[in-house]
């Protein structure tokens, strides 16, 4: 498991960065928090694995 943190005040750019990052990852969890001072600042934390192939997980057919 790995963690990646994105942050910024441009929400559209942040959304694009997160979507581009997770498109080829197995995402375990996404959390967000915001900081409000003179500007709103958003922090997105992603827990992920690098591969979609998890040999230890066997799903029934």
Encode pLDDT of 30-47 as tens digits: 999 999 988 889 999 999
What range defines the domain where residue 41 resides?
2-49
Is 41 domain-assigned? yes
| 11 sits in which H/E element | helix 11-22
Token reading at 15: 């959304």
Is 33 domain-assigned? yes
More confident residue, 9 or 56: 9
Is 60 domain-assigned? no
How many domains is the chain built from?
Answer: 1
**Cut 0.85: pTM above it:** no
């Amino acid at each position: 498991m790995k963690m990646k943190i994105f942050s910024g005040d441009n929400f559209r750019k942040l959304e694009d960065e997160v979507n581009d990052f997770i498109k080829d990852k197995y995402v375990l969890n996404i959390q967000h928090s915001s900081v409000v001072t003179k500007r709103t600042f958003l922090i997105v934390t992603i827990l992920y694995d690098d591969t979609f192939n998890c040999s230890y997980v066997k799903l029934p057919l």
